[in-house]
Structure 1
Amino acid sequence: MPQPIDVGSILGGRYKVTGRILASAEDDVILDGLDQVLNRPVSILVAAPENSANLTQSSREIATGERPSSVSILDLGSEAGVTYLIAARTTPADLLDLVVPTDAQDVYQEPFFTDTLGTEIFGSARDQAPSSGAYVYEDNSPLTPGHPSSALPASKHTPTAAVPATPPVSSGAFDDTDSKVTLWNDDDYDDAVPDTARRSGTFSSAARGALASYEDSNNAEDRFEDEDDSNAPRTGGRWLTGIIVGVLVVGALIFAASHIGTLFNASPVADGGNTSSSASQAATEAQPATATPSSAPVVAPVIKGLTDITAYAPGAQHYNDIFMPRLKDAIDGNKGTYWPTVEFTDDAFAHVTTSIDLAVELAQESTVSSVTINQIAGSGGQFNILTNSKPSLEGAVKIGSGSFTAPDFTLKVAAGVKAQYVIINFTQLPKLQPFATYPYGLKIAEISIQ
């Protein structure tokens, strides 16, 4: 009969059925699945109702080790009256084996005690059943049950009733004709062992000699170790040498740091000539300079106005015209106000222009030493800074470039740069965060020139 679990079902709130593999003749179904917690593929076996008990039993036997299987079981549950098994990805044949019950007769069991295996190892067949009584020697020594000895005559091994936890004491030595085992008393030891032989707690002369040689070798090894320790190189001198060298290096660095400024500030000596002659020549040349100014006076820049000189593509809409009245906010000296552009979909101005250009007009031609741009919420982008005698990119001279990595950007200009106009040429828009509609644009809070 068809199973209620099909593709798209969720088992145990975790395993999603993603495909159907096959169905057996008994309506056991193999499915593909996905563990949505660990994001790994699994195999799913849905047992037919009549095989649910077999599947549960097989799973328990595999978990306890009673049944060998290559299936790695992950979960076992019940859904809509049927039992399902979740396993690591495996073959359908291995899964279908789990709905087949284990035949208990196939499991080998020992017929009785295993302590009679020795008789089989040493050539005799294993006893069919354990012996009902114990076998003892005539000297009352117990023999392991189920192990009647076949090496001695039967007259010496007759079954008797069980004896007490305290056997009777033997009455002296046996005669050699009766038994090969003879018990000795203390007098027998005295008669058999000469006085010169080893007694209890003593060693023979050969053993004592070997022990003495062993002790001598150990003493020699200890002596050699002591000699090695005395001959080992001393590391204390190396440490002392290293400390001295380190102090000298630190002293040399301090000396170099204190004198390197003097080396760079000293006047250069041309062609290895005499320093005194060069100094006198410089003093001679400096005398008429008092009458004539050495350079033109420095004029501090004063911002007069700001103009948007962006050149748009033919037919393109001038989006920034709507913010033209706010252009003055970029030079009013207040960082709380700003001039924005419209927001663009990309950093290339949505292809309506190739750049956005702002021309800062100075009151007169001035000496420019630095240009600072304060912006809001932008990161990245690219821009060039140029100077010109007119508000145009034509004929302008580039004095630097940059990108926004912080709210403020300052360009230090080389000495001697003079200009009537400072032009900021934005060639790539920074990314805004946050933004209203599109993520690219400009928010210029202040432009200042020193």
Structure 2
Amino acid sequence: MFDTLSDRLGKALEGVRGSGNLTEDQVKKVTREIRLALLEADVNYAVVKEFVGNVRERATGSEVSKALSPGQQIVKIVNEELANLMGGTSSKLSFASRPPTVVMLAGLNGHGKTTTAGKLALFARKQGKTPYLVACDTYRPAAIEQLQQIGRELGVPVYAEGTEPSPEEIAERGVKAARDGGYDFVIVDTAGRQVVDQNLMDEIKRVRGAVRPHSVLLVLDVVTGQNAVEIAEVFKEYVDYDGMVLTKLDGDARGGAALSVVSVTERPIKFASEGEKMSEFDYFYPDRMAGRILGMGDVLTLIEKAEGQMDQQEAEAQSKKLMAGKFDFEDFLKQMQMIKKMGPLSSLLGMIPGLSKQLQGANLSDLDDKALGRVEAMITSMTVQERRNPKLLQNPSRARRIARGSGSTQQDVQKLVKQFGQMQKMMKQMGKGGGGMPKRMPRVPFR
């Protein structure tokens, strides 16, 4: 989402990163470029004005760090101000002292509210809660069916009464059913509209009054740009929600909504939703997002994603095999499947400090999720014996059979086997400490 903004800010800061002396003219030039970059990203004008003013004031003031050069100092200031713009620190969801915790979702149609209900349910279960979903969209039967389908996939119960009763009656009875059933985390999915109208606001107020939720979250699709900010302002006036959920953060929007909405509404972004998988949902961390925008990566989130998919004992065993150069295609397949569970590969690459900059202008076709799928197809077309003993794959007839089974060419299979062998040798060399990294790194076998 922030690729264009990241590029523009990177170029604006490039000239001062290694600067030993920072002049007033340099500060003016940098802040002018930052201003243009933010406006181009569709950030609210008033927000941009305040942001640039803060950066300029701090950069020309008495704020000095002996550990940083003046050039590094302004990069640090921009990073901190970006984080402040998005809320400064993460705002976690609080839970009721007496269960169940009731969370009500509000928002317009098409912003991902029902999907968010499912993602939040899975997130709550990972926190040790027992989630329960309540379908209160009496205007769209399809929304009720969608929530029930999500509930079946996740193994989470869904309370629904169809479209005849009023939303507030359904909500009240749904929360009671959850309490009676011993569930401690209830998510109430309310109805939306195509546009904001008085009937919608009145209905949400009635539902809120009936269930007295512990938290109200506004679901916003950031792809809608400044419209999302305007929607957030109107909902705040009538509903006074506690925080926001930003959806489609993996989209190709300019990102202005994510950078504007906190300053405009004075409400925190609680959660970030990326991708279509139910697991692609987490707390929003302003400082981490600021680091990603400035090309500094987000190692903490990357580690958390990896830990969430990895058994510690298995990880240690895999690491030993890897460094001994003894890992085979079965091990490699496990690692690829773990990576796929962590989210889109393009998103993971953006979390590695400096990598996005290094890959600028490069052909990333070897590093996309479809490429991982092609490799997975080739490996799953191998026999168990072949996966455990890759040397068998030097036989052309085996390569031809695997190519037919995976929809690839014999050359693709042979290339994969060759590159995999190079990886084994490299890791074995590193594990023994024999000479460090090779002069020529083998290509990672992504296709």
- Tell me which interval the TM-score lies in, with the shorter structure as reference length: under 0.3
What TM-score comes out, normalization by structure 2 length?
A: 0.16
Q: Which has the higher contact order (CA 8 A, sep 6+)?
A: 2
**TM-score scaled by length of structure 1:** 0.16
In terms of fraction of residues, the more strand-rich structure is: 1
Structure with the higher helix share, 1 or 2? 2
